[in-house]
Chain A
Amino acid sequence: MRFIDPHIHMSARTTDDYERMAAAGIVALIEPAFWLGQPRTQVGSYIDYLSSLVGWERFRAAQFGIRHYCTIGLNSKEANNEALAEAVMEVLPRYLMKEGVVAVGEIGYDDQTPVEDKYYRAQLALAKEFDMLVQVHTPHRDKKSGTITSMEVAMEMGVAPNRVVIDHNNEETVKDVLDRGFWAAFTIYPNTKMGNERMVEIARKYGSNQIFIDSSADWGVSDPLAVPKTARLMLDRGIPQKDVEALCYGNALKAFGQSGQMKEDHWLKPEPVDQRMLFEGNSVLRGQAPKVGEAPSVDQRAGEVVFK
């Protein structure tokens, strides 16, 4: 089985993680621009971070045979620093059209302040101007109402629901998201966000339309194998394989593939220039025969498959 992790912050992860992800069948990932735990105070550190998402991190991923994409945006937490936010808004257009940038993201609300609202709207306008998809981070606190506001504002700004991924859903938000025609992403995360046993139940209840999962692994306690592990749990608990494949690969590709920047060919038969420059002529990616029907292999270091 092949997997896509459509939300993972690889800059915060080690090469061990890349090795385990590749071994578990992850062929592509999307790294959203977000905050670093420690707030940035200068636009310069923002610029270097965004450059690393389209440069160094993409190269690093390729060394392990994984195709790296990213989303570019001003996150909601740092939007609250208005001086910084203004300067970041100024540079964002220089990144949006880079190769492999699949959406404006992750943007949205954190504390749901008026300033967050201002820059969420400004970035939705940018997405419209550049004809881009949007990846929305929904707030941890006051989640349900924040999620609904995120969608209403997107529609008010004239962004079509099928061009927007609403991330970090849970049982309480999923129905509102699906009913409105947005993509619903679920972050499988130990302790906070979603456990994967709950995700199995959501898959039973809502099926596999418009839904996909991600790890959102970052610098906190999180697991870069959340997608393959959850796939295995779903198969073990009787979710049909075609649904598991849609939830863990196909739907993320459909959603972000609308950008034209993410194509299955990129990992199944890369352009010669990518073979030379990114994969150094090795056939790591091309050599990967599809293992349809096989459960994902999660290596021994991976630990528990179940996330409570």
Chain B
Amino acid sequence: MTPAQLLEKWLKARLPAEASAWLDKTAQSLKQGADRDFYIAISLVSRKIGKADLNLTPAELAQAQAARAGWDPRDWSLDQAARVYLLLAPEADGETFSRRLDQLCITADIGELVAFYSGLPLYPDQPRHVLRAAEGVRTNIKGVFQAIAHRNPYASEQLPDDPWNQVVLKSLFIGLSLDPIVGLDRRSNPKLARILCDYAHERWSAGRPISPELWRCVGPHAVGDMLADLGRVLEKGTEPERAAAALALASSPDPAATGLLWAYPDLSVAVSENKVSWQAIANPA
């Protein structure tokens, strides 16, 4: 099934008859409708459909992954799903689709922005929406940013390094976990590692805490001075920070990293026996 068909099926299984009928009728009429009807219909969703959680089952989440690799709508709400469904309903070409999406974003409320950005991996002509995604990353509204950053494969698939690096750095800035960022490890890069180490130094100077997840994107590019940063964390860090530094050193390409880690036998063993993981660091008990 296509993502649009899945959205339709999931919504129909959850909505009361009246809301379901409205959605059907609206999706049909949007196939020929004018832009104005389109914009009004999308705003009407929260009034007609409500905002309860979509609450997909594990089987439904597996269907999502099968329909579109990396698509993970586990946190979606009903209005979010219905808006993305209606966006897809007219089966517009990339150009028409993105013209309307731009208009919709200009006048969007918060719930709409969340829906529009979380739907990015489902839109036609994927590369066309890169500037839209980068614009979304600039938002000051945490939930809107999260709609792009978390459980959404679009950013790692389409964004060039610079805006991608902003996704990671900004997540740390606003206190979001890195683990739900799709493609986090695949897209790590030396510039990001350097930016993150600079950020760590700023936080140290200010006497502010640092998320241990930061070191996940440093490790694979940690060479030279960056090893000294990781050494400092091993020596002075909290337990989660030390586990993170150990994992980061284990992924470093610099031969000196191994020696540094061996100086802490307990942590070296924990790493080699898989007793520490980035998932556990991201989700402390």
Query: Which A residues have a C-beta under 8 Å from some C-beta of B?
Result: 47, 50-51, 54-56, 58-59, 91, 93-100, 260-261, 271-274, 276-278, 280
Contact string, B103-143, partner A, CB cutoff 8 A, digits 1/0? 00011111111100000000000000000000000001111
- B47 interfacial by beta-carbon distance below 8 Å: yes
18 more A-B residue pairs beyond the given contacts A47-B107, A50-B107, A58-B109, with a C-beta to C-beta distance below 8 A: A47-B106, A51-B106, A54-B108, A55-B109, A55-B113, A59-B110, A93-B36, A94-B39, A95-B43, A98-B43, A98-B112, A260-B47, A271-B52, A272-B52, A277-B110, A277-B111, A277-B143, A280-B143
Whether A278 lies near B47 (C-beta < 8 A) is: no
**B219 CB → nearest A CB, Å:** 29
Set of chain B residues within 8 Å of A278, measured between Cβ atoms: 110, 143
Cβ of B77 and Cβ of A273 under 8 Å apart?
A: yes
- A96 and B40 CA atoms in complex are apart in Å by 8
Q: Is the CB of A94 within 8 A of B143?
A: no
Closest to B109 in A: A54
Whether a CB of chain A sits under 8 angstroms from the CB of B91 is no
Residues of B within 8 A of A280 (CB): 142-143
Pairs A-B, 9 closest by C-beta atoms: A277-B143, A54-B109, A97-B43, A99-B46, A273-B77, A98-B109, A59-B141, A97-B44, A271-B51
Complex-state Cα separation, A54 to B46, whole angstroms = 13
Q: Do B108 and A276 touch (CB < 8 A)?
A: no
Whole-angstrom distance between the Cβ of B200 and the nearest chain A Cβ: 24
Nearest A residue to B75, CB-CB:
A276
> Within 8 Å of chain A (Cβ to Cβ): is B235?
no
Q: Cα distance A157–B43 when bound, in Å?
A: 26
B80's closest neighbor in chain A, by CB?
A273
Contacts of B239 in A (CB 8 A): none
Q: Which residues of A contact B75 (CB under 8 A)?
A: 276
Q: A51-B107, A51-B108, A59-B141 are in contact. Are A274 and B51 (CB under 8 A)?
A: yes
Task: Please measure, in the bound complex, the distance between the C-alpha atom of A277 and the C-alpha atom of B80, giving whole angstroms.
Answer: 12
Give the residues from 47 to 81 in chain B that come closer than 8 angstroms, CB to CB, to chain A. Answer: 47, 51-53, 75, 77, 79-80
Chain B nearest CB, measured from A66 CB (Å): 15
Residues of B within 8 A of A91 (CB): 107
Return A279 CB to nearest CB of chain B, in Å.
Answer: 10
> Which B residue sits closest to A63, measured CB to CB?
B142
- Closest B residue to A59 by beta carbon equals B141
Cβ of B84 to closest chain A Cβ, rounded Å? 14
By a CB distance below 8 angstroms, the chain A residues around B140 are 56, 59
List residues of chain B with CB within 8 A of the CB of A276: 75, 143
Q: How far is the CA of A295 from the CA of B83 in the complex (A)?
A: 44
CA distance A154 to B143 in the complex (A): 40
List 10 interface pairs A-B (beta carbons < 8 Å), by A numbering.
A47-B107, A50-B107, A55-B113, A59-B141, A94-B36, A98-B109, A100-B109, A261-B47, A271-B51, A271-B77
Chain B residues with CB below 8 A from A277, complex form:
110-111, 114, 142-143
Minimum CB distance partner of B55 in chain A: A272
* Alpha-carbon distance between A94 and B79 when the two chains are bound, in angstroms: 17
Assembly CA distance A51 to B107 (angstroms)? 5
Contact partners of B77 in chain A: CB under 8 A? 271-273
CB distance from B50 to the nearest CB of A (A): 8
Residues of A within 8 A of B142 (CB): 59, 277, 280
| CB neighbours of A94 from chain B (8 A) | 36, 39-40, 43, 107
Q: What is the CA–CA distance of A261 and B44 in the complex, to the nearest angstrom?
A: 12
Residue in chain B with minimal CB distance to A70:
B109
Q: When the two chains form their complex, are residues B109 and A99 in contact, meaning their CB atoms are under 8 A apart?
A: yes
**Chain A: which residue is nearest B107 at the CB level?**
A94
The digit string for B143-182, where 1 denotes a CB below 8 A from any CB of A, is: 1000000000000000000000000000000000000000
Most chain B CB atoms below 10 A, which of A50, A96, A99, A278: A99
Report the nearest B residue to A276, measured CB to CB. Answer: B143
Residue of B nearest to A90 (CB): B36
B40 touches A55 (CB 8 A): no
1/0 per residue, CB under 8 A from A, across B75-105: the answer is: 1010110000000000000000000000000
Q: How far is the CB of A144 from chain B (nearest CB, A)?
A: 37
- State how many angstroms separate the Cβ of A94 from the closest Cβ of chain B: 5
From B76, which residue of chain A is reached at the shortest CB distance? A273
A55 touching B110, Cβ below 8 Å: yes
Query: Complex: how many Å from CA A160 to CA B108?
Result: 30
B80 to chain A: which residues have CB within 8 Å? 273
Question: Within the assembled complex, what's the spacing in Å between the Cα atoms of A274 and B106?
Answer: 22
CA distance in complex: A277, B109 (Å) = 12
B238-281 contact mask (Cβ, 8 Å, vs A): 1 or 0: 00000000000000000000000000000000000000000000
CB distance from A134 to the nearest CB of B (A): 18
Residues of A within 8 A of B79 (CB): 273
- Tell me the complex Cα distance, A272–B53, Å: 7
Q: Give the Cβ gap from B195 to chain A, nearest Cβ, in Å.
A: 25
Residues of chain A with a CB closer than 8 A to B109's CB: 54-55, 58, 98-100
